[in-house]
Structure 1
Amino acid sequence: MGIGFPHVVRAVPHGQPVQDSDMCPRRDPAAPEQPPCAPGTREPAAPAPRRPAPSQVADHEDLEVRASAAHDRHTPPEAVHRLTHDPDPAVRAAPARHPHLPPTRLAELLDDEELAHHAAANPTLEPGLLHELVESGGQRAK
């Protein structure tokens, strides 16, 4: 163990794993408010990026955030619904398969030429409706 200088690193016996606290002079177990060091370095780790609230992801300016939300099982139904109207086609397709897609919107997407194939793969699609789609070659009776 070091003798109290912030630049001294505790010696680790050969064959023992090196832990962040062995490498990082700024990490003090008695002071949890200090940021941990990046693994294998003596520098503080960068703070984790803040993720928008689930209710805000559908309107986020970053395409990757919206696409990620479209695949996230924790995205709330109202955000999933809004994502089906996204300007990007790849983002629109993912929520059509999302289990939180409201049933009324799922029914609408089955009649949407662009998204019907994706909506038909939704795990919450009623078995009777799925059977109807299979029997009709993908065409819904209106």
Structure 2
Amino acid sequence: MADVIFYEKPGCSGNARQKALLLASGHALQVRNLLAEPWSVSSLRPYFGETPVREWFNLAAPKVKSGEIDIDRITPQAALVMMIIDPILIRRPLMKVGGRCEAGFDPERIGAWIGLQPTEKRVSDACVRSEAAARRAESETKATPTAD
């Protein structure tokens, strides 16, 4: 299988699920700290390929969630500089196999690229805390009686 360089945010439960799926699929991982890596424009840019700039960002990052950074209006160069200064802005994980780099964890894309074992539970790059909050809000909405 593949030897994957996997850049994570240490302690991220989403990254932990992603690593477990990659390992269960037979891949070897070289795990690195995304936040401690000395990124440069030339080392970071290949991970985003031809994807739109908005897809380069971690949507759960505080500056993105608050609207401080308008990810629909930012230039590629400005986005890279911001990410180098504040790596929490980078969509994770970043993965590299051979010469190919990818940002984010789309199981279909990764499965086609290096292969993944099928799972009952979907593993993605969405923040686990954000997913849990959305599920709580949805169940609270369903449980709240409405006045007619």
TM-score range, shorter chain: under 0.3
TM-score, normalising length: structure 1: 0.22
TM-score, normalising length: structure 2: 0.22
The structure carrying a bigger strand percent of its residues is: 2
> With CA pairs under 8 Å and 6+ residues apart, which has the higher RCO, 1 or 2?
2
